[in-house]
Structure 1
Amino acid sequence: MVTRLLPPRIDVCRSVPFTPLVRAGEDDGYTFEGYGAVFNSPTRIDSWEGTFDELVAPGAFRKSLTELIPKFQFDHGHHPLIGSVPIGAITDIHEDERGLFVQARLGRHMLIDFVREALTPPDLGGTGAINGMSFRFSVVRDEWRDRNGKKIGSEGELSRLLYGAEPERLPLQRTLLEVKCAEVGPVVWPAYPDTTASVRSNMLIPNAVAARRLHLLEL
């Protein structure tokens, strides 16, 4: 019997293009503001996991933020020089009507200054080259529905549909109802070329898992 893989629920990343909220004349240039996630914005996931739409529901971060303040990292801690050291400290993080609002104070270090310049819009003296935010999370509660709004009742049904059964019910929609957020921060590559909102980070897919998924699709 072939075991089919479902989308991961632990240590997942999502990224969103964003415009940093920088106010000329109101700060010394070391305060970062932006949105790490946008609510109710369906995103097409089209990868080794299958093809489906995903959105984050309002309230998804609420419980997590009362338990743990996420770390503020650059590129998920994978920069070869900065590494996993946070590039700043979060001073305010909360949900509002738009999404997950993040305010942080950047550290004062030469390497972090390079990131700060890339985050600052050109009209304020920067390059604006970095325009993405991402958050790392684990799924606590989610909900799957087919294109007609019918709720997916079991993992078996979900697996069959993700592997292409009953195409008339596709694409599926996944709603993230509650997540535990461990880390948030700016990223260089916020999205795949054919997306306009949050996407899954391909760095989270172990080669062995990806190879197995491809093998299963060929069966």
Structure 2
Amino acid sequence: MTGRREGDKKVERRTYGLQSLGLEQRSDNDPATMVGYAALFNSPSQDLGGFVEEIAPGCFKDAIARDDVRALWNHNPDWCLGRNKSGTLRMSEDDRGLRIEIDPPDAQWARDLMVSMGRGDVDQMSFGFRVREDSWEKRGGKNIRTLKSVELFDVSPVTYPAYLDTSIAVRSLKEWEDKTTSEAPAAKYRADIARVNLKRRFIGD
């Protein structure tokens, strides 16, 4: 990410594995392409601090068409693997999730990364995003957050699933819980008034 985005408290990151990233070679003369999934649909995350997160199909549709997205190694802007505007990063949604293809540069650090990927040492992907639309619900006793639309900043092969960065989501959860709690008495009051009015209508005051 750029420095501006690093400092933006609204940016969140999520990491996916296992085996969400690998190498493909079209022919012996072509360089290897990094291929994988930066995010998976309808796949519950681990507990992220009082809630579980899922991604709805279509979440990245607008971002693919609209956003200027980089592929970075370990989210480091000094190691740019590709960019969608230049055609070296290609993104699409399929039934499984956000599929990516990266044509890495002919640089030593990128070649070293591909060696690590070929050995299976690096096989996870992460993505940086800002929420445009989400929803919260209780399901099976758990708080579930569903990402419906995001602004996408980067997709990154990562060594560790270290960038959960859930502080923004936790604040959003707290706001939803407060709103739900504050609305509950009001909803009960409205229901009581409706019952009283119904009783008056049929049997009088």
State TM-score, norm by structure 1.
0.64
Paired letter, 2:33: T
Could you tell me how far 1:69 is from its partner in structure 2?
3.8
Q: Per-residue CA shift, 1:49-104, capped at 9, x if unaligned?
A: x3111100000011111112410101111xxxxx5331234442010110000001
Structure with higher helix content: 2
Cα-Cα RMSD: 2.6
Distance 2:61 2:142 in 1: 28
Could you tell me how far 1:41 is from its partner in structure 2?
0.1
Q: Which has the larger radius of gyration?
A: 2
TM alignment of 1:149-168, pairs within 5 A: none
Residue 172, structure 1, aligned to residue 172, structure 2: no
1:86 corresponds, among 56, 80, 91, to 80
Q: Which residue of 1 aligns with 2:15?
A: 15
Q: Flag structure 1 segments of 5+ consecutive residues without an equivalent.
A: 1-7, 78-82, 121-126, 149-169, 192-199, 210-219
Q: Tell me if the contact between 2:71 and 2:89 (Cα under 8 Å) persists in the aligned partners.
A: no
1:30 corresponds, among 16, 32, 35, to 32
Could you tell me how far 1:24 is from its partner in structure 2?
5.5
Paired letter, 1:12: E
Q: Tell me if the contact between 1:9 and 1:138 (Cα under 8 Å) persists in the aligned partners.
A: no
Aligned length: 156
SS in 2 for 1:51: coil
Q: Which residue of 1 aligns with 2:102?
A: 104
Paired letter, 2:43: S
TM alignment of 1:1-219, pairs within 5 A: 10-19=10-19, 20-23=21-24, 26=27, 28-46=30-48, 50-77=49-76, 83-89=77-83, 90-120=88-118, 127-147=119-139, 170-190=141-161, 201-202=164-165
Distance 1:176 1:35, change over 3 A: same
State TM-score, norm by structure 2.
0.68
Paired letter, 2:52: D
Structure number with the bigger relative contact order (C-alpha 8 A, sep ≥ 6) is: 1
Distance 1:188 1:21, change over 3 A: closer
Q: Tell me if the contact between 1:44 and 1:51 (Cα under 8 Å) persists in the aligned partners.
A: no
